[in-house]
Amino acid sequence: MKLTIKLAWRNLWRNKKRTLVTISSVLFAVLLAILFFSMEQGSYDRMIDTMVRYSTGYIQIQDVYYEDEPSIDNTLLFGEEIHTLLDKHQDAISHYVPRLQYFSLIASENTTRGGMVTGIEPEREVKFNDLREDMVAGDFLEKGDGGVLMAEGLSDIMNLGVGDTLVLLGQGFHGTTAAGKYPVKGIIDLKIPELNNNVIYMSLEAAQWFFGAENRLTALIIMPENPGQTQQLANLFTGELDSQWYNVLTWEELLEDLLTLMKFDIAGTMVLMMILYLVIAFGLFGTILMMMLERQKEFGLLFSLGMKRSLLARVCMLESLFISAIGVIAGIVLAIPVVTWFTYNPIPLTGDMAGAIEDFGFEPVLPFSSDPSVFYSQGLLVMALSVLIGLFPVYKVYRLKITDVKH
């Protein structure tokens, strides 16, 4: 076997130009596949991260009726049972974020529109998404604050600034009237247009008073220490809470519609990837075929000297494996700095494409993913294609007749 490996390795470099052409075809195939897959994976990861960070969190505890009927009357009592659960699993929980969200009419002197009033505990909300980084004017909320934060888009629509007063009018808990006047303490840019044009933040205590919902929440968001153990932690919560009163949901369940759309998109992407792999396969096959045509006289001479076909087949297979392995490794090494750069410096989108993405509520950038699976999965796939095509020389060795070789 050692002799076979030595023969295969030496054969590669007898014709350096041919070997380098073949290695280059594998290298660029791997590089192209990694960049394409990284871009796709990065887009999905950014989409999910945005929704989890600004909206759902990894786990939510809700009232059992809230998911089917998201009404202020179906809010969760943030009582002793929930506090006991949080204390029991505090080592597995990074932090939790209580929220009270419901729609209300928002009025200024000349404008009225509907919007989302979100009650938050400022110090916990900062751990969740650090809204302070998005402040464009005024000051951030403090615990028990009587003012509100307005999203920048909404403040422009309502023509309100820091220090102005807005009026909120809506329905409170169990049919009570929710009404109040609140000074605008700060303006915040939420980046996502759908949120930026509709959201008002106030302290949780002020929101509970406004809606007449003392100690109640629409959802308790829980962020695990290890996001990879989200499902296990959710299962523990489900087993320890009374299912007649509480509902525990993971981000996959909360974003089910989005994930369904992503699956359809992935199906379309896989068709494009299959076309890419087909192009890669034909490119590799072309170089291998060229190599075989060039070496027919060589093979005929070796057979005439008494070399066994099985030994020559093994040598040819090892040559293909060496070429594939070198090309795959070189492609991955070349892809790492490119993917890393675009991971930290996403490509900004402009024009109609940017507008379309913003309409769906996401930042108009083209992010990349540097997850290790991006590299090894595409490397292994291209390697498998290369090995499969490498069987062609083996087939030709066994089928070649000395009398057919042109001298």
Residue 49 class from Cβ within 10 Å (0-12 exposed, 13-18 middle, 19+ buried)? exposed
Average pLDDT over residues 326-339: 90
Looking at mean pLDDT, say which of 123-132, 157-166, 193-202, 384-393 comes out highest. 157-166
Chain position carrying tokens 């109609």:
352
Gap between the Cα atoms of 208 and 212, Å rounded: 6
CB 113 within 8 A of CB 199: no
Average pLDDT over residues 70-81: 89
Looking at mean pLDDT, say which of 62-66, 129-133, 322-326 comes out highest. 62-66
DSSP conformation letters of 57-80: -SEEEEETTTTTS--GGG-EE--H
Using 50, 70 and 90 to split pLDDT, how confident is the model at 361?
low
Chain position carrying tokens 């509100």:
148
pLDDT for position 337: 92
- Name residues whose C-beta falls within 8 Å of residue 67's C-beta, 6 or more positions apart in sequence: 247, 249
Gap between the Cα atoms of 214 and 235, Å rounded: 28
> Has residue 84 got a pLDDT over 80?
yes
Please tell me the pTM assigned to this model: 0.66
Token duo for residue 346: 């996403």
pLDDT for position 359: 60
* Terminal-residue alpha carbon distance, the chain: 31
Average pLDDT over residues 157-168: 91
Looking at mean pLDDT, say which of 8-17, 79-88, 188-197 comes out highest. 79-88
Rounded to 10°, the helix 309-344/296-304 angle is: 150
Average pLDDT over residues 19-27: 81
Half-sphere exposure of residue 174: CA atoms within 13 angstroms, side-chain side: 4
Gap between the Cα atoms of 364 and 360, Å rounded: 10
pLDDT for position 19: 79
Burial track 272-298 (b if 16+ CB lie within 10 A, e otherwise): ebeeebeebbebbbebbeebbeebeee
pLDDT for position 386: 77
Nearest 5°: phi and psi at 169?
A: -140, 125
Burial track 192-214 (b if 16+ CB lie within 10 A, e otherwise): bbebbbbbbbbbbbbbbbbbbbe
Task: Give residue 33's Cα distance to chain centre.
Answer: 18
Domain ranges across the chain: 2-52+258-404, 65-242
Token duo for residue 16: 């350096």
User: Which of these, 23, 392, 89, lies nearest to 238 by C-alpha position?
Assistant: 89
Residue 270 class from Cβ within 10 Å (0-12 exposed, 13-18 middle, 19+ buried)? exposed
Gap between the Cα atoms of 57 and 356, Å rounded: 25
Q: Encode pLDDT of 98-142 as tens digits.
A: 999 999 999 988 889 999 999 999 888 888 877 888 889 999 998
Chain position carrying tokens 């916990």:
124
State the amino acid at position 227 in one-letter form: P
> Has residue 166 got a pLDDT over 90?
yes
